[in-house]
Amino acid sequence: MGKIDFGGVVEDVVTREEFSLDKAREVLKDETIVVLGYGVQGPAQALNLKDNGFNVIIGQLEGDSYWEKAIKDGFVPGKTLFPLEEAAKQGTIIKELLSDAGQTATWPIVKKCLNEGDALYFSHGFSIVYKDQTKIVPPGNIDVILVAPKGSGTNVRRNFLDGSGINSSYAVFQDYTGRAKERTLALGIAIGSGYLFPTTFENEVYSDLTGERGVLMGCLAGTMEAQYNILRKNGHSPSEAFNETVEELTQSLIRLVGENGMDWMFSNCSATAQRGALDWAPKFRDAVTPVFEDLYDRVKTGKETERVLEVNSAPDYQKKLTAELNKIKNSEMWLAGAAVRSLRPENIKK
């Protein structure tokens, strides 16, 4: 493992140079990897494993839309695609990539399919850390491991296809075989990780739930909406408000941050923009810090997971979710966004 200085804190990371794909193939050569759930992370991880030459099969509810998607992606019913329990019985590594609520609902089925020496794999610490709510307590005679890509399933696949890979964290919760860490790193490389950094199940789920509710999704969406509404309230057109709120961020500035950091992005903007950003960043930081403190406390105490399991397990969940997403989709801000995106050069028919 390589030691990298992260702003004065030295961490161990594992790169593809240190743990090669050939080594991963050797470690996993006798394993049957079962991917349970073909929804968000499932397709990306399964296809990456398949393309890298690993023995992978899918477990999914027979006949539903995800089952059909797996068939379209090249998995064959009765050969590499099976109903959940039938697939789980065949695996030596069981990847729990169902939704958190789905993992809870199907745990009695999965648990009885686990054999001594198997590995139970997660890409999120939710089910293990909040066991009092999920009731997921693995038997003591298996490995329990985690590889958590730091991105959506879409980007796990995109980054794999363009050769860049996506960063992932990894953790070992239970090492029964003495090979748990080796299996974990091999799986991390096998799904196309750019590099792997160590964590714990607890730290992964606390940071993940905070991040997606905060900067990555919830805070981003709320802040965008607030700025857009203020601009519209003061007479700016939908096109102008959207471009200044979203389009310039996603198509220009965030790319500069990704390339070389926030300071580099600031230094590559106008002096006026630079001065304003430097002056206002502390104000936004101080304004939202109490919100983040409340958020982290709710995550750590299990209040957020309690809500997730309660809402996502409701029989009418999909109907209500669709209504919530359509409300966003049909708002003026995101209708303006659709119009703006259609005008990007690559989307204009020549």
Q: Which residues are catalytic?
A: 124
Nearest to 36 by CA among 98, 92, 86: 98
What contacts 192, CB < 8 A, 6 or more positions away?
48, 52, 156, 159, 160, 165, 166
What contacts 309, CB < 8 A, 6 or more positions away?
100, 101, 104, 133, 134
Burial (CB count within 10 angstroms: exposed 0-12, middle 13-18, buried 19+), residue 9: exposed
Nearest to 121 by CA among 37, 24, 20: 37
Q: Do the Cβ atoms of 285 and 277 come closer than 8 Å?
A: no
Q: Which two tokens stand for residue 61?
A: 């509810």
Maximum alpha-carbon separation in the chain: 67
Measured distance CA(47)–CA(329) in Å, rounded: 30
Q: Do the Cβ atoms of 117 and 141 come closer than 8 Å?
A: yes
